[in-house]
Amino acid sequence: MTAPGRAAAGEAAVHPAPGGGPEPAQVTRSRRTTLWAALGALVIVVILGYLPYLVLSGTTDFLVNVFVLMTMASMWNLLAGYAGLVSVGQQAFVGLGGYIVLILSNHAVEPFLGLPVAVAGCAVVGLPVWWLVSRLRTGYFAIATWVIASIFELIVVRFPSLGGGTGASLSGFENLDPTLLTAYTYWAALAVVVLVVLFVYLILRSRLGLVLTAMRDDETGARSSGARVPRTQGFVFVVAAAGCGAAGAIVIISQLSIEPTAAFSVQYSAEMIFATIIGGIGTIEGPILGTIIFFALQKSLAQYGTWYFIVLGLVAMAVALWAPRGIWGLISERFGIRLFPVGYHLWPAGEQRPRGRAALRRRSSGTAPAGPAEASRGPGDGPGPPPG
């Protein structure tokens, strides 16, 4: 028996009752709130899809920026929140993605076709980069990623065909109606962020996700359980490179030009890090929420210029120190909700798990199902209890 919504696949009963008698303990992957969330998400995506027909291009352009940051934040969250790789150099791939699209368009390839190529290209480049930086541990790893981004920029600048130090503009859209271009860009950005978030969700739901969650909670413990930590980290690094490449491709398509200092700017890292930290590192919902908060802050502080980044930085520091699970962490712990079901829920024996339409109805006061079986510590909580 499957419940509606795309989130309810894969339920497993431990011992099905032979008929009559109390309900046995059951283990499922989702519960009532996630069904609502899944329906809600579907509705939101559909509405977003229709937006170009409904609103002015200013709004869609703004939303493109939101989607781009959401993509990057989700990738950084996967890197740092799950794989334990704190990178401050993802801008290397953001810029690279943009420049791949540029190169292709210079060779008469439609930029929207260049997008998947940019994704693949960044993934490929990610491999040797990973091989280089994986030799370093946490702190030095972080600066090394920064150095790599700086190197990318220094290399790109030497190619006049790419515009050298002053940058270049993107060709290939001359014949396209501007309104259509805005709409296509918007849909491309929407597609990227939806695919990325979906991809992250599916990864975390899979066996790989189990390894990643174990690594999130305790890397040493994960290693000693036999998880292939370095290989998993390498995989995540490449995925993050590809994801940031996609974001970079959207950026150049949306801005129609690219300039090396801006394309490889550490500002991208700052934005994706702050969004993830404030939203909640180590959860799928965190980067999404964080991006929304980020842009809300930006809107309200925009007139104060660089103040907005100062405030953002201070807020991020405060959150990292005092609310390490982020805003989403606070919400999730308080209300016990999880929108993307990647864990397992234990319904104790003897308890009636609502099925069918009953599942959609609000449960009356009384016993609530037991919380998810995942460990509830986040990555920022430091080492667990000492062994032995």
Taking the complex as a whole, the smallest distance from the CB of residue 20 to another protein amounts, in Å, to 36
C-alpha distances in angstroms, 310 versus 160, 294, 303, 304? 36, 13, 13, 10
Neighbours of 322 (CB within 10 A): 7
Which of 63, 70, 80, 272 is the binder for another protein (CB under 8 A)? Answer: 80
Stretch that binds another protein, among 26-34, 35-43, 53-61, 299-307 (CB under 8 A): 299-307
- Partnered with residue 372 across adjacent β-strands are 345
Residue 271 and residue 249: Cα distance in Å, rounded?
17
Site string for another protein, 148-177 (x = CB under 8 A): --xx--xx-xx-------------------
CB 211 within 8 A of CB 228: yes
Which range in 6-14, 110-118, 272-280, 351-359 contacts another protein by CB under 8 A? 272-280
Contact residue for another protein among 274, 294, 328, 340 (CB under 8 A): 274
| Distance of closest approach, residue 70 Cβ to another protein, in angstroms | 19
* Between 109 and 151, CB nearer to another protein: 151
Nearer to another protein, 43 or 155 (CB): 155
Near another protein by CB under 8 A: residue from 98, 121, 290, 379? 379
How far is it, in rounded angstroms, from Cα 350 to Cα 270?
A: 50
DSSP string, 165-195: TT-EE--S-TTS-HHHHHHHHHHHHHHHHHH
Q: How many helices (H) and strands (E) does the chain have?
A: 15, 5
By the rule CB under 8 A, 144 interacts with another protein? yes
384 is an interface residue for another protein by CB under 8 A: yes
Q: Which is nearer to another protein, 35 or 275 (CB)?
A: 275
Query: Which of residues 14 and 155 has its CB atom nearest to another protein in the complex?
Result: 155
CB of 168 to another protein, least distance (A): 18
Instruction: Residue 328: name the closest of 292, 367, 374 by CA.
Output: 292
Of residues 302-341, those binding another protein (CB under 8 A): 305-307, 309-310, 312-314, 316-317, 320-321, 324
CA distance 223 to 233: 12
| Size of site (CB under 8 A) for another protein | 50
Interface residue with another protein among 16, 21, 139, 178 (CB under 8 A) is 139
Distance CA 30, CA 192 (A): 26
Residue 86 lies near another protein (rule: CB under 8 A): yes
Q: Is 108 helix (H, G, I), strand (E, B) or coil?
A: coil
Residues 6+ apart with CB under 8 A from 66: 291, 292, 295
3-state secondary structure of 299: helix
| Nearest Cα to Cα of residue 69 among 198, 193, 245, 255 | 193
For binding to another protein (CB under 8 A), which residues are involved?
A: 80, 84, 86, 88, 132-133, 135-140, 142-144, 146-147, 150-151, 154-155, 157-158, 266, 270, 273-274, 277, 305-307, 309-310, 312-314, 316-317, 320-321, 324, 379-386, 388
